[in-house]
A and B are shown apart, each in its own frame.
Chain A
């Protein structure tokens, strides 16, 4: 019985741990990127979700990626391939600025 209890506890802990994976998602909302700085690891896939009623882009000259237009309600995924701190902007709304940090 005791062994079973320990096993159950261990399983529960593992399940809780699995739930704690940090989502690698940036919300585009109110013409801002949230969070404005996101840190990920090389190989991680990052998703930008456009929650505004008009298109935005995720464009980084530093990192060399450009989502092109992401329509309202749509998302775009990018897999981080190189380490560094990359600033990006929306080519349609130049006041929008954020950073992707890849470790």
Chain B
């Protein structure tokens, strides 16, 4: 259940559907997906910052809150400037539902089990977000500035994935 965000995003990538989805997706839909994807990671980060038991987990969670809040602030400013109104869609709804399920799952855990579930989800989540950014969101964005923002923030998701894997590995050795 905790991987439902991943499933929601993953559904974007079904081959050969991904190509046509990238062509059909609209900028308002992309805006909603970006905002929701950042929000759910901020919410998971807030829970992990307070409930995590490991120092590295708490530091990672705090960074996710800061980085994803920053990306959403910039995305919000851009969509306001472009007068794009984020439009909810099956993918953004799926991400939100997945985020809620992840939180519910994490709330039932504590200690090392919580840390592991949180970081495992972060690894899978960032990998799937990266795939969606590469295969659907960047190719699908019509507005140049929206596309440029996605290109600009992409390496941060890559850095988060590497960082999450590093933290995941360090938990495994404890």
Contacts and interface: CB of A to CB of B under 8 A. Distances in A.
Interface of A: 29-32, 52-55, 72, 90, 92-96
Contacts of B152: 29-30, 52
A30 to B, nearest CB: 4
If over half of B's interface residues share one DSSP class (helix, strand or loop), that class is named, otherwise mixed; here it is: helix
Query: Which of A30, A53, A94: most chain B Cβ within 10 A?
Result: A53
A92 B63 contact: yes
B166 A54 contact: no
A54 to B, nearest CB: 4
Interface in B35-80: 63, 66-67, 69-71, 73-74
B162 interface: yes
Contacts, number: 47
A93 B159 contact: yes
Contacts of B71: 53-54
A92 B71 CA distance: 15
Contact of B66 (A32, A54, A96): A54
B74 A53 contact: yes
25 contacts: A29-B152, A30-B152, A30-B153, A30-B154, A30-B155, A31-B155, A31-B158, A31-B159, A52-B70, A52-B152, A53-B70, A53-B73, A53-B74, A53-B153, A54-B67, A54-B70, A54-B156, A55-B66, A55-B70, A90-B159, A92-B159, A93-B160, A94-B163, A95-B158, A96-B159
Interface residues of B, number: 20
Contacts of B155: 30-32, 95
B24 to A, nearest CB: 27
A55 B67 CA distance: 7
Contacts of B151: 30
A96 B156 CA distance: 9
Contacts of A31: 153, 155-156, 158-159
Scoring B71, B156, B166 by chain A CB atoms within 10 A of each residue's CB, the highest score goes to B156
Contacts of B153: 30-31, 53
